Structure 1
Amino acid sequence: MLAECFSEQQILAAEQLIALVSPTPEMAAEHLQAFRELELDEDDIEEFEDDPKQLMWMVKDIADWESVFYVDWKDTESFVQSVQQLAEARDAQVTFGVDDPEDEDFLENHSVSQLMVLAHAELQKQGLVLWNWSTLEDCYSGFITTPAAAADLSEIAGILEVQFREGSEPF
């Protein structure tokens, strides 16, 4: 049970994050149900206690490739595929400014952070924001929201003790 490790405020912040990053109410409900059904064993409880950042990892695990992207720092192909999938779920399109963003030469000549900046610019023109969060690991993770979510994300970041930035400024 999450309440054994985290405060009510932290759990509510994670739930609010799920609602903000989910492209549809149905997906939000599905992810919220999965989040609420998470069971922690004794080792998890000991490891996670007093570390609200762990809630962000749980959200990532529940929503990966549906509402959240998570890729290795050098996996440009997975980044392109996951961001395109997240954008499509919001009726948006990300082309990265080329005809074939999965072209091997294109992928080899760009880093994930460069691609994130391109995707952010395209999504911004469509009324969306690509966000990334500091995982403190050799990977990139983030999500897409509407611009109106910015203030809520700032508050959530403080409660979960994580950092979010727009995709124009990759970590």
Structure 2
Amino acid sequence: MAPSDNDFDTEHDFEEEENVGDSVEAHVWQLLLLINPGDEEMALQQFTDYREGIVQSGGNEAEPIDLVRRVIDWRSGFYVDVADTSGLMQAIDELSARWNISIDWGGDAADDDFHKTDIDAPSLFAIAYDRLLEHGYTLWAWETGDDHCAGWITLKRDNESLREVAVYLGINMRLGNEVT
């Protein structure tokens, strides 16, 4: 016997924005899991902070990445002035230390003379990308639209998943060795 139209609940009380919001939240959760490999507790804490941030902003947050950036800063991602090469090195070192990885930068991060050379953010991204890849991790950069550089680290095996989540959330990503 074929089901009739009455056998299905065709009326929904969902507003279109709620469905989109749920999808955005689901993708933010996926992003947080990807940038916290092996640390679901940290991802959950950041997701809770993200949701609290939405409530505090009255739902007026322009882009999910703006709030994500604030809840992950220096724990699972970074956002530093592009001219602050020392800060960039410190941020990447801090994130890499979660997996006991030490980046050989080819110079001392604490040495002011090292930062006066031709070292710049794209060079540092490329160095860190190569060193992390040796351990099965990928350094990512996302476009900030201002004079800052930002990024996070994922497992190399999750590269395609991160790309898909980033596209959905409208985050322009590139591999760390592609930063210009």
TM-score relative to the length of structure 1: 0.86
Partner of 2:123: 114
Structure with higher Rg: it is 2
Equivalent in the alignment of 1:74: 83
Q: Which runs of 5+ in 2 are unaligned?
A: 1-16
Partner of 1:29: 44
Q: Distance in 2 between matches of 1:26 and 1:108?
A: 40
How far apart, in 2, do the equivalents of 1:25 and 1:117 lie? 28
Alignment correspondent of 1:93: 102
Cα distance, 1:5–1:34 mapped onto 2, change above 3 Å: farther
Change (3 A) 1:41 1:145: closer
Query: Deviations along 1:100-131, whole A, 9 cap, x unmatched?
Result: 22211112221111111111111111111110
Moved over 4 A (4+): 3-6
Q: Unaligned regions of 5+ residues in structure 1, if any?
A: 49-53
Candidates 1, 16, 30, aligned match of 1:16: 30
Count of residue pairs brought into register by the alignment = 161
Name the structure 1 match of 2:175.
166
Q: Which residue of 1 aligns with 2:161?
A: 152
1:83 alignment partner in structure 2:
92
Identical residues among aligned pairs (%) = 29
Q: Is the 8 A contact 1:95 1:101 kept in 2?
A: no
Helix, strand or coil for the counterpart of 1:130? strand
Instruction: Name the Cα RMSD after superposition.
Output: 1.9
Alignment of 1:104 with 2:112, yes or no, is yes
